A = this chain, B = another copy of it.
Amino acid sequence: MNRIPFEQVHECLARVLRSLGFSDERAQLSARLLAETTCDGVYSHGVNRFARLVAMVRNGSVDSASKPRAVARFGAMQRWDGQRGPGNLNAHAAMAQAIALSREHGIGCVAMANTNHWMRGGTYGWQAADAGVIGICWTNTMPNVPAWEGAEPAIGNNPLVIAVPRTSGHVVLDMAMSQFSYGALESYRSRGELLPVEGGFDAAGKLTRDPGAIENSQRLLPIGFWKGSGLAVMLDLIAATASLGNATNQIANDPLRETGLSQVFIAIDPRTLGESARLEQVAEEVVSSLHRSRPTTEGVRVRYPGENTLRLREENRRLGLPIEDAVWAEICRM
């Protein structure tokens, strides 16, 4: 494991992206979002995912030069075509537009078709909260989870992100609709560990904590069984209908060809309704009520969503981003 300074990682990723046809400005932004993801401790969706992004530019799934464009506008609502551009740049632009709409109308929404994997969804939640507004966004994905009572992957794990701004640390939830991702299953398996809770069904249809058995059956468990399955369906339905883009079942079931995604970005600016100071008090009260709540394990405080992020961000900025030797060597050779 290396510790590489943030700026060095940022520059290195930007250099590779420029070589793939990204303009300098877009290479800088995309590289920054990826480095920040690793810096915030979401290792699966930052630098570790860069090789896959590069492969998808090379195989034509991601068009490095494409920019999203608005195809329809009505009041606080816009429909965009992502034109198969880089997913994180598209999503960042769409959330920026939703934020601008929320300042003008109190609430704003951009529904985007034809885009690519947004990498870490939480990025756009932090983006909204940093702008002082509530952010809600989600994406559909290729079919990678069976629907409830289904035996084969039919719904996406459709990550949902919700962020609420707070001066002493935004509250940010970034969660997929499966209890574990394939990436999580793989890392438990490679460490020889069982999952902490049941994560899917084995080949015999029994709930199991064995990550390998779930990888083999492809029967990942939605959160809350029938409930998370239903929520994944609704998120897909809204994303596909509002954007007029692909639904999950129309997306190629191949991680290197998973393109043409549909996403929704909603921003809400309650400050437009006045009494901003009270907004802050309410958020503070919710967080402190969690901290006051009696924990199951003495000394382990109940945390709010995103609570660990600022600590990891500070630590990784100070010590350098933790990156596996092989991953960093591969990027340096690109």
From 288 to 334 in chain A, residues with beta carbon under 8 angstroms from any chain B beta carbon are 289-290, 293-297, 300, 302-305
Shortest CB distance A300–B (Å): 6
From 74 to 102 in chain A, residues with beta carbon under 8 angstroms from any chain B beta carbon are 74-79
Would you call A283 an interface residue if the criterion is a C-beta within 8 Å of the partner chain's C-beta atoms? Answer: yes
Shortest CB distance A107–B (Å): 5
Residue in contact with A240 in the complex, picked from B240, B247, B275, B282, CB distance below 8 Å: B282
Shortest CB distance A205–B (Å): 6
Question: Could you say which residues of chain B place their CB within 8 Å of the CB of A25?
Answer: none
With contacts A149-B295, A293-B154 taken as known, whether A75 is within 8 angstroms of B105 at the C-beta atoms is yes
Q: Flag if A171 contacts B237 (CB, 8 Å).
A: yes
Q: Flag if B75 contacts A104 (CB, 8 Å).
A: yes
Q: Flag if B76 contacts A105 (CB, 8 Å).
A: yes
**Copies of this protein in the complex:** 2
Residue in contact with A223 in the complex, picked from B155, B224, B244, CB distance below 8 Å: B224
With contacts A146-B293, A268-B109 taken as known, whether A76 is within 8 angstroms of B75 at the C-beta atoms is yes
Chain A 197-230: CB-based contact to B (< 8 A → 1; otherwise 0) = 1000000010100000000000000111101101
Q: Flag if A273 contacts B234 (CB, 8 Å).
A: no
From 168 to 192 in chain A, residues with beta carbon under 8 angstroms from any chain B beta carbon are 171, 173, 175, 179
A275 to B205, CA, bound (A): 42
Q: Flag if B230 contacts A173 (CB, 8 Å).
A: yes
Q: Flag if B134 contacts A285 (CB, 8 Å).
A: no
Question: Could you say which residues of chain B place their CB within 8 Å of the CB of A293?
Answer: 146-147, 150-152, 154
Would you call A242 an interface residue if the criterion is a C-beta within 8 Å of the partner chain's C-beta atoms? Answer: yes
Would you call A111 an interface residue if the criterion is a C-beta within 8 Å of the partner chain's C-beta atoms? Answer: yes
Q: Flag if B75 contacts A233 (CB, 8 Å).
A: no
Q: Knowing that A76-B106, A109-B268, A224-B224 are A-B contacts, what are 5 other residue pairs whose CB atoms are under 8 Å apart, sorted by A's residue number? A: A76-B108, A146-B293, A171-B233, A197-B225, A236-B286
Q: Sort A-B residue pairs by CB-CB distance and give the 5 closest, nearest first.
A: A77-B106, A223-B224, A75-B105, A249-B289, A154-B293
Of the A-B pairs whose beta carbons lie under 8 Å apart in the complex, a sample of 18, sorted by A's number, is A74-B272, A107-B109, A136-B238, A147-B290, A150-B293, A160-B231, A162-B238, A164-B234, A164-B241, A173-B233, A175-B224, A175-B230, A179-B227, A223-B223, A230-B305, A240-B285, A241-B283, A266-B266
Residues of A within 8 A of B (CB): 72-79, 104-109, 111, 134, 136, 146-152, 154-155, 160, 162, 164, 171, 173, 175, 179, 197, 205, 207, 222-225, 227-228, 230-231, 233-238, 240-242, 244, 247-250, 266, 268-270, 272-275, 278-279, 282-283, 285-286, 289-290, 293-297, 300, 302-305
